Amino acid sequence: MRDVYIRAEKPDDVSAIYQVNSEAFGRENEASLVNQLRGAASTFSFVAIQSDQIVGHIFFSPVTVRGGSSNLSILGLAPIAVLPNYQRQGIGSLLIQQSLKACSESGQDAIVVLGDPKYYSRFGFISASTKGLRCEYDVPDEAFMVLELNSGALQDCTGTVQYRSEFKVCE
């Protein structure tokens, strides 16, 4: 991984981000999702740059916990994408590590993610069920994970996590 850096999304990045997501996923659902969520919610978006090109992207949007406290700021990590030719070089890991740091610094309480536990456990994510959180979607227990950024924040927050309605396009 040579000379890659991560920075927050800028207005001019929109079409490159669309391209990265559609190429990485091999379809346009996730790319369109990002476009729909951007502006509709308070989102966090970061890009990975190599040789002046956007080669990766990570996105976070707010989730709510039905039956839980509404005073917490919890984000859902989705999607994350790296251009096919740039995968397996550590760019995805760098995107996750640096964006989690930025989310933490901006005062977010926790992050949830739906994905491969082997991958996300590298960054400290644990099964969300251990914190009493369930996913609104019918997914294997171990695939729904959480990372507390604000230690102890989830202590009194249990219930069903709901993503924004825009996510229906990716089910």
Binding site for ligand COA (CB under 6 A): 24-25, 78-82, 87-93, 115-116, 118-119
- Residue 89 beta carbon to ligand COA: minimum distance, rounded to whole angstroms: 5
| E strand spans, the chain | 4-8, 44-50, 53-66, 74-82, 110-114, 126-127, 133-135, 144-148, 159-162
- Residue 35 beta carbon to ligand COA: minimum distance, rounded to whole angstroms: 16
Residue 70 is given by DSSP the state: S
Nearest CB to ligand COA, comparing residues 74 and 153: 74
- Residue 90 beta carbon to ligand COA: minimum distance, rounded to whole angstroms: 5
Helix (H, G, I), strand (E, B) or coil at 84: helix
Which residue has its beta carbon closest to ligand COA? Answer: 92
The alpha carbons of the chain give a radius of gyration, in whole angstroms, of 15
Nearest CB to ligand COA, comparing residues 48 and 65: 48
Nearest CB to ligand COA, comparing residues 68 and 92: 92
Closest CA relative to residue 72, chosen from 161, 6, 135, 145: 161
